[in-house]
Every structure is written in C-alpha cells, then in structure tokens.
Structure 1
Amino acid sequence: MSGWYTVAKWEFIKSGMKFSRKSIFALLLMLLLLSIICYTVALTDMSQNHKIYTLVTTSPDLKNIICNDERFQTLPEDSRDSDITIVEYNAYLSGTTKSMAAADALEKVLINYREKVLSSYNDINNTHPVWVTLHDLGRPESFQVMEIATKNENQLSNTDNYNLDTGEKYKSDSNTAHSSSTFISAEGIDDPDSNSKILFEKQTVATPSNFTPPIPFTAILYSFLFIFPIYFVSQFYSSSIMEERTNRRCEMLLVAPLKRKEIVLGKTIPYVLVSLILLSIIAMYIKRPSDVQELKTFLAMLSVIFPVLILFLSLSFIAAILSRSFKELTFAMVFFSVIVSAYVFFPAMFANVHTVSSISPMTLMVNLIENREISFDKYIFSTLPFYLVALSLYGFGTAIFREEDLFSQKTIPEKIMDCMEIFLSSPGGSVFVLSIVSIPFVYMFQLMMIVMLFNLPFPYSVITMIILSALAEEIAKSIGIYTIIKRKLKTANLITTGMLSLLAGIGFFFGEKLVSMITLAPIAQSAFGSVMTTGTLFLIPLLLHVITTTVTSMGMYFTSPRYYIFFLLVATGLHTVYNIYLLRGLLFV
C-alpha cells in the first residue's frame, strides 16, 4: 500500500475524530432546520421591500397605480403619519429621510406606469416613434485580448439594417457609430405591405432608461457559490497542519519511512476530494446534466474551478508552514483569501463589458453558466498561472516540511531563505533554474496589477504597472543570489558573483520568452501587454536583465547583504527607465 494512501486514510479518520456524535447530530439538525426555513420562506413569498412606505391620496386612479407596487401601503385619507400625502396634483413629504426615499420610489413607479401606457398604444401616427440603431463600440482600453471572429457567410451581419424610407437593406460602417432617427410618413404606415410597418412589428419598444449594459450579475452570484466550500476546506486544511505542528504530532510522520512528498500528498488529497464533491454538487445544482452537451458543461465547470481550489490549498499549506502560531496563520489566511478573491471576482464583474475579465477563471465560469462555450487558449490564459504558482508553492513547502522548520520559531523571511537554500543545494538547483521557477509568481503578480490598475487614468496606470513589474522582476532574479551570499553557499569572489548574475539574467529572460509565447500572445498588442512583453526584442532585454541583476549582486558583494534593498531599488530604477523609454511612444503621445 502506498505511503500517501496511508496518510490520507489517517487524515480522514483524524478529521472525523474532531467532532463528537453530539456535535455531528447538532450540525445535521441545524442544516435540516435551515433547509426547512428556507423552503418555508420561499413558499410564503416574503419580500424585504414589502410595505416599507406609507402614502395618503384622494385620487382613486393613483391608488390603482400604486397598489401594484408592494413597497407602498395606502393609508386612509384622515391619517397623519404617512410618508407622502398627495392632494390633487401636489405631493407633500413628511420631511424625514424615509419620505425622501419614498418620493424617489414614487417617481419611478409613475415613470414605469407611463412607459407601460405608451408601449400599449398601437397608433403609430400619434406615438411618433424614433428609430434608434445601436452600435456597441469598445472604448479605448489599455488592456485588450485580441480575438479572431468567424462568421457564417450565409448569415447577415448584425449591422445590417433596413432603410426605413426605401425598404432597401444597407450595411452600416463598423468603424463608426451614430444614432439615427427616421420619421415615417402616414402613407407608409397605412400601406399594409410597407416595410416600415413590418419592421415596427418586429421591433421591441423600449425607452432609453431600459438600456442596461450586459453585466451578468446572476451568473456571477452563481459562480460565487463555488468559492464558499473552498474557503472552509482551506481553513480546515491549514488548521490541521498547524495543529500537528503545535502539538508536535507531525514528528511521528517525519520519523516514519515515508518521503516528504508522500506525507504532503496524503494530507492534501482528502481535502481535494471533499472539495470536489461539494463543488460537483453545486455544479449539478446549477447545470443539471441531462444530455451530453450539459455533461460537458458540468465537467468544464469543474475544470475551471479546480485550479482555483489548488491555489487556495497551496496558499493554505505554505501559510501553515511559515506561520509560528494560529494568530499568524489567521492573518495570513485572511490576507491570501482577500487577495485571491479580488483577483478572481473583480475581473469577472466586467464580463461582456471589458476585456480585463479574461484574466479571471471566474469569467469562464460565467460564460459556462450563460451557456456559452470557452476556448482552450482562453482556459490556458486564465488558469495556467494558478497551476504554476500552486505547483511551485507545494514544491517549496515540501522542501521545508522538516523538523528544523516545522518545530522552530524562525521568522517568515528565514523560512523563505531556507526554501531558496534547499532548492539551490539540490542536484538540479541553480540561480538559472530558480529564475525560471519564479516566472509564474511574477506573471501572476503582473496580472493582479492589471486587475487593480486597469480602471485608473491611462498614463498613470501604465507607469505604475511599469514600476511594480520592474520591482517584481528584480526580486525574482536576485533572491537566489542574495541567499547564496547571505548563507555563504559558495565562495564569494568577483568572478562567481558575475557568473551568478549572468545565469540569473539569462534564466529569467528565457522564462520570460517562454511565457510570452505560451500565454501572453492574446494581450501582446495592448498597453499592459507591452509592459509584460518588452523582452521580445531579444538582445537588448537580455542585456538589461543581466545588467540590473549585476547591479544588485555586485552591490551586495562589495558592501554587505544588509544593503540588498537599496541596490534592489537602484536596479528597479534602471529597469523602469528602460521600459518607459521603450514605451515612450505609447505613454507620451
């Protein structure tokens, strides 16, 4: 029997022993009562906005209009405690904040009633309709995802419209947008074969107040259901590891004839399986697979949420190892949960509106809920950073899953340096490979900066992105050299330091080119994409990476590792100046 299977089975048994029979019975009883209450509330059709405003009026017609809105309660005419009192054509407020809100709600009720009345008219001669052709244009964006749209040649374009005067078809220019109003003569209306009358019958009558952007609020709320189980399971996962550290029960596993990766795998798999079961139930509730197509959608939902689950568990794992107490663990879990949740959900709010939404896997979930297909390249673009970062975190966490780090009071920077030291001391470890391994962290950090900065004014957002990206890249390239000099892993001399700088710069450049070819092609033409792909010029960026890394490493060599932050900022400044010069045509036009 495999070692990881034994550890996983013990983890299941240990998790079940945390709860007594009384606790399990109480939990099931609470869930049952909660389900009954929710079902009862759904049957009673309760509403939060039921009779929250009071109104007095002497007009029977107005009473008939207002009685259809459940927010208003009509009081007798002699009542003195109403929010609004209407006498003939005048409305009087009671002077409270609630009465102001009631007046606003009353105005909307009357506007909606007026629209319904006008929409019910069939007399076109008296309604004077204005035909408005809408062209959805994308606003100038600093972040774009380039797509190749295919169209069936037998189908007409969406911009094909009838000319209301001649009845002929015309095709509007896709590069321009305008609103057109055409007056229809009475003779054309009276003609039973008139194209105008036929077109009017096919149009949907609406007012400008009914035009809303296609923001998928319902789909986003459904997608939010997938995160709840992940939150709770990751909390149990991190607390389980932390509890074994504080109680020193993990020593039994460390002295057992098991590899560290088997221990980590065995402790992780139970939580992955439980999460997948819960996520499958939620996906089945949203999309009940009754045919092959819906089954594919169901499986696609699980494949989209799986990298998010793995990232949460990896962050929980590394947080439980780096933290020295449950207090630090709580802070770390809250911090990571907020950051990842913002990264996942904030772009999804702009699905169908802004191309920044393609960064988040939840946008793919929204598309699946709305019965739209997702392409493989979009899946890779959205989820690959999650897979790579999670894999790297598990790798570094497994490296320090040992007695020296689990049962000591080392600080977080010291444990991070332990990760770097173990990696660099391994047979295949070097600053060249470490620079490549650090690429997913830099890549995900840059995508997160896009999420946070894309809505700021254009020049400032890109300049901020340039500075933060340069800082992240310089940290990724120099952290290995800092560890070598700080821990004295190699003999410090001028030639060795220069070679380390060269290897770190080349490794990062190689990884940057690899990421550009795999995932950044869709946004390479955008402003933020230009910041992330300035390495495509080959020789000059390669020289830049080597020079900036040399500045940091040589500064530490001639002074001390204590001045690492100072020389890191100097290298970041050089990197920033180069990127701004390279993008000067985009920033200063």
Structure 2
Amino acid sequence: MSGSSRTLAARFADALRKAVARLADWTRKTLRVARWEAARTAGVFDRKTAGAAFAAALLVGAFGAAALSTGGAGVALDENIYRVGIAADSPYYDAVAESPPLAARPPDEAALRDGEIDALVRGNEVEPADSERGRAAAAAYRSAVQSYNDRRMLAEENQSAAFPVVVEIRYADRGGASGGSAATDAGSDTDSSGGDSADSDQSPNAESGSGASDGTGGSAGADEPSDGEGDGALAVPDVGGSGALFGGQSSGSPADIAPPFPFGSLVLAFAFLVPVNFVVQSYGSTMLNERINRRGELLLVAPLSPTSIVAGKTLPYALAILGVTTLIAALVGGGLLSVAAVFPLALAYLAATFVGAMFARSFKELTFVTVALSVFLTTYAFVPAIFTDVTPIALISPLTLVVRDLQGAAVSAGEYAFATGSFYFGSGVLFLLGVGVYREEDLFTQRSVPLKFLDALDSRLSGKRSVAVLSALFIPFVFVAELLTVAVLFALPVQLSMPLLLASIAAVEEFAKSVHVYAGFEKNRFERSVPTAVVLGSLSAVGFFAGEKVTAVVQLVGLPELALGRAAFATSGLPGIGPAGAVGLLLAPLLLHVVTASLTAIGASRNRLLYVASLVVAVAVHTFYNLAVVVTLA
C-alpha cells in the first residue's frame, strides 16, 4: 500500500472515530435530558392528578373493550325508544324483547290511539300509530323479527336448508366491468318450505313451518312480518358477526348482505388516538413551560445543543406512547404491525405539538393549535380508513394497516412505506423547523404564530441553494395534503371532484414552493430584486420537482387506477409517444414549476399584498395546466 493510500485510510479512520465520539457524546447528553424530563414530569403528578388520569384511562379502556367485544351491538344509543304493544304469548314477543330499540308494552288499542304506544301487534300484523314515529316503530319491529329469525336459522344444523342461497361479494375497481360476483349454493333440501319462502314475496300474514312462532327452528322457513316487497329491504346489518368490527358482510344470505360501515375504524381511532392525545397534551404543556418566566434559559446556557435538548425532552413521551400503543394493540388482538403503524402517527402528533408549543404565546393559544392539529390528524387517519375493504384510498391511513393486521391480512413493505412514510418524513421536518426557533430570540418573545412560522423557515435558509432543499423537504406535507384531498373528494361525482382536486393541488404546491422564499425576503436574507427573485424561484422549482418524483410510490398501491389518483399523481405519459414526447412530458412540469415559482418569488420580493396576488395568479396558471394535462391524457 502506498503512502498516500495509508494517509487517506488514516484520515478516514480518524474522521470515523471523531464522528462516533460526537454521536456518543450527543446520545449521553440526550439521555441525561430525558432523565431530567422524566423525573420532572413524574414529580408534577400528585395523587389527584394521577387518579384522574387513571380513571380516564380506565374509561377509555372500558369503552374500547366493550365496543370491540360486541362489534357495536353494545353501543345502543336508541335503546327502548319505540313502545310496541304485544301480547306475552305472541310468537313475536321474544323478538321484541331482545331488540334494544323496542320496549314491549301490553297490547291496548286505546293506548295506540292516545299515543302511549307507537305500534300494536295483532297476530301476524303490525299496526303503527298515525305518525312518523309510529311508522318508524313498525319498521324497527319488522327488522327485529327479521334479525330474530336469522339468528334462529343460523342455529339450524342444516345450513343449506336454512340458507339455500348464499351470496359472496367481491369488490371490484371503481369503473370496472363488473361490480362483483355471486355464487349460489343450493342445499339438498331446496324443495322444502325453506326454499319456497326464501324466494317468494311475503306479506305480513305469511306463515311457514318455522320462525319466531313455534320455537323449533326445524325448517328453513321464517314466520316474519314484511313490507310486501320480499327484496330483503327489512334486513339490518349483522353487527354481531365475526367481521362486524370492520364493516358489512362479504358473504351470507341475500337479506343479510350489508355495505361496509366504518364502525371498526371509529373504534380503532378512539382506542389508539385518544390515549395518545393525553400524552401529547402533557408534552405540549412541558414544552411551553420552558418559555414561561424564562424557565428554559438554564438549558440554553448549558453545554447542550438544541437538538439534544429537544430530543431528550421528547424521548420520554415517545416511549410512553410506544408503551401505551403496544398495550392497546395487545388488548385488541393486534401484533407488531399495529404498533409499527400507529407509532408514526403518534410521532406526527408529537412533532406538530412541539412546533405548536414553539409558536404559541400562551396556554390558550397552544390549546387552539393542538386541537386544530389533532382534528386534522384524526380526520386524516379516520376518513380514508372508512374505505378499508373498498379502495386503495384507504392505504393512506395507518389505521388501515391496523385493520388489516387484526383481520390477518398481509401487508407488503411498499404498502407500509406508503401509509407511514409521509408521517416519518413530515415529523422529521416539523422537528427540524421547531428546533430552528429553539433559541433565545424566539423562545422568550411574544411574537404571533405567523411571525414565528416565518422565523422557523428563515432559520433553515443559509443561502440560495437552501431554498431548493427546503422545497424538497416540503414534499411530505404536499403529499399528505393531496392524499387527504383525494380521500375527501373520492365520493363526489368525477365531474365535480376533478376540478376541485386540480385547483386544490395547485394551491398546495404553489404555497409550498413560495412560502419559504417569502420568509427569506421578509427577513432581508436576500436582495429584493427581480433577478434574485427569478433565481430563487427557479431553485425552488428544481428542488420541488426533484422531490416530487417520490410520489411514484403511489404506483405500489394502485392509486393511479382511480380517476382522481391518475389526475393527482400521474407519472407516465401517453402510450406510444416516443422518446422525444416522453422527454417533453418530463420537462413540462419542471417548466411550469419554474414559471409559477418565479412569479410568486417576484411578488414576495415586493410586499405581502403582491405576494398573495402573485400566488393567486400562479395557482390559476397551475390549475389550467393540470386541466389541460388531464384532458390530454384522458
């Protein structure tokens, strides 16, 4: 080995040793701050506070356990709201007595006329009171009898006779050639009364060999009142089945098929996110305490870097959230995937709360900021998870991974990265911005939230090239905003949702490309001239364009198969356009970004009013470009 090679290797080894030593020193200081924070937080909780927190935790756990164990049947907000007059010896009495919305009362025609009861059962007929409430009571009665008979037939040993027709639902892509498939399985006893009653129109007076009346459950028929249509309209979702927690049934008798219902997502959002909010609120309070009466000044003068201080003060709360999430996952039957799915969402809560605590001037302002952030993140996690069994849209929510984990479904590495990647990167950027204002000139001053936001952006600008870097770092937030927009507009008609989507995308992207440029001009970091503005706008456009290519990950989960997904995240051009056309389609977005970002930068170099005006113009130009691309690719 030559002397120069030995010297290069020695320099590399020396640099590596120094890096390891700095990392070890940073870790040691961070852990020391974490121990201080954990001891200080533990000392704050007196017996009353600890008791209240324990009671709240028990309440959350009891609600979640009850909801999970009953699949929603235990949440009976409509219990005993309809009074039904029915004789105790009626074959339908048990059906009424077991139905939560119904309350059995003695049959009395005078009580029906006086409004003391809402419906009266005479034999096989039900007579409602002459009111909306009465008609609703009659409908609830029919549904109760239907559900009662279904439960009886489910207990029948010969299921082919009980349910001669079985329907299996398979969800197809929106706009596909078919909406699903149905498979029928006729049992050996299809010529029995059960087969006749299953396929025939029924009236309130229809009777067959079994049902609510005889108590035998021996044949396939059902002695049930109906509305005369015989199309299963009286059926209600079976919220007690094995798949009830996560939506409607995928198979069963035609009358039992129900569309997916987001009860499971609601329970999961409550079970996981509410305890996280308790920890996050405590974290926000301790961070804001550092700014009250200059309590954090001792940490600033200590031989500690802002990153080690923030990391040390955050670590105990992150570990607490990890422990709570693990406990909840174990209680609901989840595994490591559930914990790994919820943790990045909780990390985003911590990061957003930290930034809010750095920007807020009082606990009242911090409460407003944290509530707004919590509502946004909870909406982002809950709304897409409604469509868990319907569309790839659901995969933008980490709660969808939890649902799949509890269902035993497989989740690929690409799907996990798609659902959680934005939260990991976004949390890192938020902490980076918050650390930028963890300094005396910002920590102990009473500046408004918008001004603190500009300070945070300016703290990360060290030159013109840093504008491009910051634009690329904003991609996770742009990605999250666009995904949430797709999820919100998904249910609307394409003719309405498409223009709204394109305009929203344009507004989000133009703001992300220009707000840090405006901060730089406001802090007099850059010269207020048109050439400088054009250079900064071009650099911002290039950085944003480079980071934007990360959105190709949507191909992994099939979002481009949706019309809105193709419009929001199109990454390919027209088929058969050739190399020249492909290059043109690749450079066209870059040219658009350069033009619009330069326009907003020129406005930002003047004043706030011209910046807002130029931003509106840039959004309009971007929207028209998006519309032209969608029409061309359609």
| TM-score range relative to shorter protein | 0.7 to 0.9
1: CA distance, partners of 2:59 / 2:170: 51
Provide structure 1 residue ranges, at least 5 long, that are not aligned to the other structure: 142-173, 191-200, 288-296
For the residue of structure 2 that corresponds to 1:226, the secondary structure is helix
2:500 counterpart of 1:464: yes
Identity rate, percent: 31
Q: Which amino acid aligns with 1:552?
A: T
Q: Which amino acid aligns with 2:615?
A: L
2: CA distance, partners of 1:476 / 1:40: 44
Q: Which amino acid aligns with 1:352?
A: D
2:274 counterpart of 1:243: no
- Could you report, residue by residue, the CA deviation over 1:467-486 in whole angstroms, capped at 9, with x for unpaired residues? 11111111122223222322
- Could you report, residue by residue, the CA deviation over 1:341-382 in whole angstroms, capped at 9, with x for unpaired residues? 010011111111222111111101100011112110000111
Counterpart residue number, 1:444 = 480
Q: Which amino acid aligns with 2:596?
A: T
Alignment check: 8 A CA contact 2:90 2:123 kept: no
Q: Which amino acid aligns with 1:298?
A: G
2:582 counterpart of 1:546: no
- Could you report, residue by residue, the CA deviation over 1:411-431 in whole angstroms, capped at 9, with x for unpaired residues? 2221122122211127x9621
Residue 58 of structure 1 and its aligned partner are, at CA, apart by 5.4
1: CA distance, partners of 2:301 / 2:384: 46
Counterpart residue number, 1:16 = 42
Residue 15 of structure 1 and its aligned partner are, at CA, apart by 1.1
- Could you report, residue by residue, the CA deviation over 1:156-215 in whole angstroms, capped at 9, with x for unpaired residues? xxxxxxxxxxxxxxxxxx8686779999999x989xxxxxxxxxx9xx996422112355
For the residue of structure 1 that corresponds to 2:290, the secondary structure is helix
Residue 562 of structure 1 and its aligned partner are, at CA, apart by 3.3
Counterpart residue number, 1:422 = 459
1:408/1:300 CA distance change after superposition, 3 Å: same
Counterpart residue number, 2:138 = 103
Residue 247 of structure 1 and its aligned partner are, at CA, apart by 2.9
2:307 counterpart of 1:261: yes
Alignment check: 8 A CA contact 1:474 1:568 kept: yes
Provide structure 2 residue ranges, at least 5 long, that are not aligned to the other structure: 1-24, 193-219, 221-249, 573-584
Counterpart residue number, 1:224 = 270
1: CA distance, partners of 2:59 / 2:435: 43
Counterpart residue number, 2:386 = 349
Which one of 89, 99, 104 corresponds to residue 73 of structure 1?
104
Alignment check: 8 A CA contact 2:288 2:363 kept: yes
Residue 103 of structure 1 and its aligned partner are, at CA, apart by 2.2
Q: Which amino acid aligns with 1:527?
A: A
- Could you report, residue by residue, the CA deviation over 1:452-498 in whole angstroms, capped at 9, with x for unpaired residues? 11111102212111111111111122223222322221333343222
Q: Which amino acid aligns with 1:498?
A: V
Q: Which amino acid aligns with 2:174?
A: R
For the residue of structure 1 that corresponds to 2:307, the secondary structure is helix
1: CA distance, partners of 2:63 / 2:547: 55
2:577 counterpart of 1:577: no
1: CA distance, partners of 2:43 / 2:179: 67
Alignment check: 8 A CA contact 2:341 2:401 kept: yes
Deviates more, 1:25-34 or 1:256-265: 25-34
Q: Which amino acid aligns with 1:284?
A: A
Counterpart residue number, 2:256 = 210
Counterpart residue number, 1:505 = 541
1: CA distance, partners of 2:521 / 2:426: 26
1: CA distance, partners of 2:277 / 2:167: 47
Alignment check: 8 A CA contact 2:166 2:251 kept: no
Alignment check: 8 A CA contact 2:283 2:317 kept: yes
Which one of 551, 571, 576 corresponds to residue 516 of structure 1?
551
1: CA distance, partners of 2:268 / 2:74: 21
Counterpart residue number, 2:31 = 5
1:51/1:11 CA distance change after superposition, 3 Å: same
Matches within 5 A, 1:120-199: 136-140=171-175
2: CA distance, partners of 1:31 / 1:528: 41
Alignment check: 8 A CA contact 1:83 1:99 kept: yes
Alignment check: 8 A CA contact 2:396 2:418 kept: yes
Counterpart residue number, 1:198 = none
1:436/1:22 CA distance change after superposition, 3 Å: closer
2: CA distance, partners of 1:34 / 1:460: 40
Alignment check: 8 A CA contact 2:478 2:508 kept: yes
Give me the TM-score of the superposition, normalised by structure 1.
Answer: 0.78
For the residue of structure 2 that corresponds to 1:225, the secondary structure is helix
- Could you report, residue by residue, the CA deviation over 1:83-113 in whole angstroms, capped at 9, with x for unpaired residues? 4334456544455766444322222233445
2: CA distance, partners of 1:242 / 1:565: 32
Which one of 447, 457, 482 corresponds to residue 518 of structure 2?
482
- Could you report, residue by residue, the CA deviation over 1:323-346 in whole angstroms, capped at 9, with x for unpaired residues? 111111111111111111010011
Residue 553 of structure 1 and its aligned partner are, at CA, apart by 2.1
1: CA distance, partners of 2:535 / 2:410: 49
Counterpart residue number, 2:411 = 374
Alignment check: 8 A CA contact 1:535 1:542 kept: no
Alignment check: 8 A CA contact 2:168 2:251 kept: no
Alignment check: 8 A CA contact 2:600 2:614 kept: yes
Q: Which amino acid aligns with 1:458?
A: V
Counterpart residue number, 2:397 = 360
Counterpart residue number, 1:408 = 445
For the residue of structure 2 that corresponds to 1:490, the secondary structure is coil
Alignment check: 8 A CA contact 1:220 1:366 kept: no
For the residue of structure 2 that corresponds to 1:387, the secondary structure is helix
Residue 267 of structure 1 and its aligned partner are, at CA, apart by 0.7
2: CA distance, partners of 1:268 / 1:401: 14
For the residue of structure 2 that corresponds to 1:430, the secondary structure is helix
Alignment check: 8 A CA contact 1:535 1:541 kept: no
Residue 67 of structure 1 and its aligned partner are, at CA, apart by 6.0
1: CA distance, partners of 2:442 / 2:429: 18
Higher RCO, 1 vs 2 (CA within 8 Å, ≥6 residues apart): 1
User: What is the aligned residue count?
Assistant: 527
Q: Which amino acid aligns with 1:577?
A: F
Counterpart residue number, 1:170 = none
Give me the TM-score of the superposition, normalised by structure 2.
Answer: 0.73
Counterpart residue number, 2:345 = 308
Residue 520 of structure 1 and its aligned partner are, at CA, apart by 4.9
Alignment check: 8 A CA contact 2:387 2:394 kept: yes
Alignment check: 8 A CA contact 2:517 2:604 kept: no
2: CA distance, partners of 1:140 / 1:40: 39
For the residue of structure 2 that corresponds to 1:352, the secondary structure is coil
